Amino acid sequence: MERRAGAVPVPSRWEYAPAPEATDLVRLEPRYGLFVGGEWVEPRSREWYQTINPAREEPLAEVAQAGGEDVRLAVEAARTALESHWSQLPGSERAKYLFRIARILQERSRELAVLESLNGGKPIRESRDVDLPLAAAHFFYHAGWADKLEYAFPNRRPRPVGVCGQIIPWNFPLLMLAWKVAPALACGNTVVLKPAETTPLTALLFCDVLRQAELPPGVVNIVTGDGRTGAELVRAEVDKVAFTGSTEVGKLIQRQLAGSGKRLTLELGGKAANIVFDDAPIDQAVEGIVNGIYFNQGHVCCAGSRLLVQESVADEVVAKLKRRMGRLRVGDPLDKNTDVGAINSAEQLRKIEALVESGKEEGAEIYQAPCRLPDRGYWFPPTLFTRVAQSYRIAQEEIFGPVLSVLTFRTPEEAVEKANNTPYGLSAGVWTDKGSRILWMAERLRAGVIWANTYNRFDPASPFGGYKESGFGREGGRHGLEPYLAFD
Ligand code: NDP
């Protein structure tokens, strides 16, 4: 065939070209107060702290550190809103507000996604394609339930529990807010929510969404601050506490609330097993393993942080995994090509480094993806450990970072035994060609969520929650409504 002159020249080298997301859509105030009774108020504590961009270690805004008096006033505002109108509104009216919030989240999703990545360090691809669509979906889903609670719980006369104190972590700031606020409001409760110290900004921008939706004042109140503010909220006159975070703090809260009559749900840590059998579609499984542990820098309570692979395919899986890890792009969270963003805080980075050190000292073999990390900010390369014994800390403790421990098994019985050999029980993954084996495994795995031939899939209609030290109570689905309702 004759070559045509003037055809587009074939490039000799493919250079990497970043595709940064613009940040001018986000307008940050230099300083944020507390959102109480539908108004921005100055903290009585007169304390402030700086929240930063972990990818650049640059300050973004000053945020209030709410004290005991601030929390008390927020709970009072929530109580007034509850008793004066919100709990008596017909479900169909509450639904309208939830629908409005969901639609505004969709309309403002780019702005919120950029802010989520700026303040938390997660790749824009994830905040844009996962966090924001799921947060809106949670409001849409619960809007649908608001006027159907009598059908969800027939003959049980469901009614609101009251004022809910909600405490959320830093790994999915806006999404965890949606998981907490949407069901509470759908069931006729009012809320005081405390975002995590390091990631308060999307919760504060969400207050603007609430105003735009004309949600009555006091129905949702946001108090920012560190763990001390959380502890004040647990102590305050709330009717229910909903907590997502570490098992350590979860236990503390449970002890604190024992005998108080306050309701409690806990969504805590995990050390999930992602189990690959020799008949699994290996390439697909490798994608699932990568998604399971490197999604959101591994800052995921249900992360597949223990890979259990059948001995006969272990070498093949690990070789393919290493090759795939080499293709992960680590860096600027606002670059649309980035797969792995920044670690959320200096403190979390130290924790990851210490646990990785312990893995080396205990005798595991480390592999880290070859990548150049930015000079500023908090970063950790995608990491893999082989030759891991079940007793090692990296196989037992939640690392909450991009670190995978690989263990092997020979029989399905051994896989179940090893998968369940953990104090946690939040999630698990099973990769196999046989449907019967998936069911056999699912019956025996002690985990709240089990994914089959996929990983990290979320849907507001599907209940999520743990066994053992991963907590109790469910979020999402009909099961997730129950903790927000009182019955006759
Ligand atoms: P925490 O459990 O401390 O944080 C969760 C939330 O609870 C935050 O809003 C936190 O505030 C608040 N809090 C802290 N102390 C108290 C208290 N005494 N009473 C009430 N609320 C409190 O988790 P960390 O951020 O310290 O992370 C530590 C480890 O926890 C991680 O390395 C990871 O292993 C695990 N973790 C698990 C999560 C999960 O989803 N299962 C989520 C986050 C962390 P503040 O942010 O100000 O500390």
Sorted by sequence, the CB contacts under 8 Å of residue 21 that are 6+ apart come out as: 114, 117, 124, 128, 334, 335, 336
Sheet with 39-41, edge to edge strand ranges: 39-41, 34-36, 220-222, 190-194, 163-167, 240-244, 263-267, 471-472
- Vertex 267 angle, CA 262 and 273, to 5°: 155
> Is the minimum distance from the CB of 200 to ligand 1 under 6 angstroms?
no
**Res. 58: pLDDT tops 80:** yes
Q: What is the 3-state secondary structure (H, E, C) of 223-239?
A: CCCCHHHHHHHHHCCCC
Both tokens of 5, joined, read 């002159």
DSSP code of 69? H
> Is the minimum distance from the CB of 301 to ligand 1 under 6 angstroms?
yes
Give the pLDDT confidence of 367-416 residue by residue, as tens digits. 998 999 999 999 999 999 999 999 999 999 999 999 999 999 999 999 99
> Is the minimum distance from the CB of 381 to ligand 1 under 6 angstroms?
no
Average pLDDT over every residue of 291-320: 98
Q: Whose CA is nearest to atom 4 of ligand 1?
A: 245
> Is the minimum distance from the CB of 249 to ligand 1 under 6 angstroms?
yes
pLDDT of residue 11: 66
pLDDT of residue 199: 98
pTM of the model: 0.96
Burial class (CB in 10 A: 0-12, 13-18, 19+), 131: buried
Q: How many CB atoms lie within 10 A of CB 1?
A: 3
> Is 307 in a helix, a strand, or coil?
strand
Give the pLDDT confidence of 407-447 residue by residue, as tens digits. 999 999 999 999 999 999 999 999 999 999 999 999 999 99
**Which numbered atom of ligand 1 lies nearest the CA of 194?**
9
What is the 435 CA–ligand 1 centroid distance (Å)?
38
Query: At 158, phi and psi to the nearest 5?
Result: -65, 140
Mean pLDDT of the chain: 96
Dihedral class, residue 10 (left if φ above 0, else alpha if ψ from -120 to 50, else beta): beta
Mutate which of 246, 255, 257, 424 for ligand 1 pocket (most atoms within 8 A of beta carbon): 246
Contact indicator for 191, 180 with CB cutoff of 8 Å: yes
Average pLDDT over every residue of 111-120: 98
As beta bridge partners, residue 452 has 430
Dihedral class, residue 232 (left if φ above 0, else alpha if ψ from -120 to 50, else beta): alpha
CA torsion 40-106-140-174 (nearest 10°) is -50
